[in-house]
């Protein structure tokens, strides 16, 4: 118990730190190149934010949130997604009063959902996301998608597919709801149990159902793309031609609806081929009503979230490898135990020269120090002590070539630095 991380959580151990750091570096760089700046919001928010933002008919809100009362009797929820917090910060920080659009990204924010864990699914996972406030043109979505593809491409991922859809706006969606319900209304008995519940609360989600019967039924259902209002229709058409113009292949999938209620117009997913359904790496879309709904001025906006664990999983599945950084350039060995402190001093001087250096912390024999240095893949060993030190020199051994040279003990760090930095 004590030595076990809670169900659905995972440690990032030092051996994999460089993978996360690399991914983060790429995300940071490409987001910055696209004009996005970082935002950090709290790990928890008032529960109300998600009830109103994410939507109280969604699975996330209904059964997956980590909600608790704090000592002041406030209802608090660990954030189950990234957008609501970013919107809240946008409104609270009155960023709408500055020049728009306002572009921000969040980097590996932990998000929490109480789900049964499995491959690529955790109770705590980390998301990178980008949010753009104040841009109403579909060029916002196009920019988000192309930036994201740039990141994933730079990380070496292949075989990604972009699916897009439009789910309309408060103008046209109710009409579609009505049409869909009319179509399904006579065939309720052919729907699965969950979909019969969805029929009243959130009929759009029936489109997304994986049950064979529902899939069959939905195949011939009216599609929202045929019923979009002029504005939504134009928006979607423009987005498609923008993506095409930018050389981004995509498929239109009228069945993607997303599990969050705040989306309007564009929704999109980036999938990776996995099994028969594929695995969603990323989900996003436009949410023109959310800022206002959360107490800000009416502000068009769009964004996405992508799970870092899934990126890592997919990188591993695709055999993308990343070189681990050097652990130790120079191991400073002490010849006898009495030389240990001198070895440490040289080690510290090398570190001050910007060289990754280690010295013995385990009171090991010289031979054991060599073995350990070998395990660290140290490029060089500097030998401190013995007759060399009496002669005023320090021996430096190249671990690959086995060549040994000597440098004066005086200012040894600088001399060694010169050699090992070549």
Q: Is 241 in the site for RNA (CB under 7 A)?
A: no
Q: Which window, 29-37, 85-93, 154-162, 358-366, contacts RNA (CB under 7 A)?
A: 358-366
Minimum CB distance to RNA, residue 371 (Å): 4
One DSSP character per residue, 324-337 reads PPPS-SEEEEESSG
Q: How far apart are the C-alpha atoms of 166 and 257, rounded to whole Å?
A: 8
Q: Is 400 in the site for RNA (CB under 7 A)?
A: yes
Give the contacts of 116 (CB within 8 A, at least 6 positions apart): 8
Q: Is 208 in the site for RNA (CB under 7 A)?
A: yes
List, as own/partner pairs, every contact residues 177-180 make where C-beta atoms lie below 8 angstroms and the sequence separation is at least 24, other chains included: 177/203, 177/204, 179/222, 179/227, 180/204, 180/206, 180/207, 180/221, 180/222
Question: Which CB, 30 or 123, lies closer to RNA?
Answer: 123
Q: Is 132 in the site for RNA (CB under 7 A)?
A: no
Q: Is 420 in the site for RNA (CB under 7 A)?
A: no
Q: Is 175 in the site for RNA (CB under 7 A)?
A: no
Minimum CB distance to RNA, residue 295 (Å): 23
Q: What are phi and psi of 37, to 5 degrees?
A: -115, 155
Q: Is 307 in the site for RNA (CB under 7 A)?
A: yes
Minimum CB distance to RNA, residue 208 (Å): 5
Q: How far apart are the C-alpha atoms of 223 and 220, rounded to whole Å?
A: 8
Q: Are 332 and 395 in contact (CB under 8 A)?
A: no
Question: Which CB, 213 or 233, lies closer to RNA?
Answer: 213
Among 14, 15, 210, 219, binds RNA (CB under 7 A): 210
Minimum CB distance to RNA, residue 71 (Å): 26
Minimum CB distance to RNA, residue 297 (Å): 25
Q: Residue 336 burial by CB count (10 A; 0-12/13-18/19+): exposed, middle or buried?
A: exposed
Tokens representing residue 356 in the block: 């990754």
- Estimate to the nearest angstrom the gap between the alpha carbon of 371 and the chain centroid: 38
Q: Is 197 in the site for RNA (CB under 7 A)?
A: no
Using CB under 7 A, list all residues that contact RNA: 4-5, 7-8, 58-60, 64, 81, 113, 115-123, 125, 127, 194, 205, 208-211, 258-260, 269, 275-277, 279-283, 305-307, 309-310, 335, 364-368, 370-372, 374-375, 381, 383, 385-388, 395, 397, 399-400, 402, 404
């Amino acid at each position: 118990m004590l030595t076990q991380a809670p169900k659905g959580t995972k440690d990032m151990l030092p051996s994999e730190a460089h993978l996360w750091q690399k991914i983060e570096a790429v995300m940071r760089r490409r987001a910055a190149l696209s004009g996005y700046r970082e935002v950090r919001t709290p790990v928890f928010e008032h529960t109300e934010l998600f009830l109103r933002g994410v939507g109280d008919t969604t699975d996330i809100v209904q059964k997956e949130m980590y909600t608790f009362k704090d000592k002041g009797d406030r209802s608090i929820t660990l954030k189950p997604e990234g957008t609501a917090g970013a919107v809240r910060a946008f409104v609270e920080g009155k960023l709408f009063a500055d020049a728009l659009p306002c572009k921000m990204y969040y980097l590996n924010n932990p998000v929490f959902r109480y789900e049964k864990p499995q491959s690529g699914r955790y109770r705590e996972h980390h998301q990178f996301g980008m949010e753009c406030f104040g841009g109403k043109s579909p060029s916002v979505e196009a920019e988000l998608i192309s930036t994201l593809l740039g990141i994933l491409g730079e990380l070496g991922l292949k075989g990604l597919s972009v699916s897009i859809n439009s789910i309309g706006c408060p103008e046209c969606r109710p009409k579609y709801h009505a049409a869909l319900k009319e179509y399904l209304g006579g065939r309720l008995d052919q729907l699965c149990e969950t979909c019969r519940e969805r029929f009243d609360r959130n009929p759009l989600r029936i489109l997304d159902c994986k049950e064979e019967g529902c899939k069959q039924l939905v195949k011939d259902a009216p599609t929202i793309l045929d019923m979009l209002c002029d504005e939504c229709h134009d928006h979607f058409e423009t987005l498609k031609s923008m993506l095409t113009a930018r050389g981004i292949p995509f498929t239109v999938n009228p069945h993607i609806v997303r599990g969050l209620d705040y989306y309007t117009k564009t929704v999109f997913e980036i999938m990776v081929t996995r099994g028969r359904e594929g695995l969603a790496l990323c989900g996003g879309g436009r949410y023109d009503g959310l800022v206002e709904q959360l107490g800000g001025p009416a502000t068009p906006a769009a964004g996405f979230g992508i799970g870092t664990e899934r990126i890592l999983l997919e990188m591993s599945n695709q055999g993308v490898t990343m070189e681990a950084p050097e652990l130790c350039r120079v191991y400073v060995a002490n010849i006898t135990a009495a030389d240990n402190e001198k070895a440490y001093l040289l080690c510290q001087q090398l570190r001050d020269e910007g060289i990754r250096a280690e010295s013995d912390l385990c009171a090991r024999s010289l031979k054991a120090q060599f073995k350990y240095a070998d395990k660290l893949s140290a490029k060089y060993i500097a030998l401190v002590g013995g007759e060399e030190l009496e002669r005023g020199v320090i021996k430096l051994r190249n671990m690959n070539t086995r060549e040994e040279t000597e440098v004066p003990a005086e200012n040894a760090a600088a001399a060694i630095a010169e050699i090992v930095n070549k």
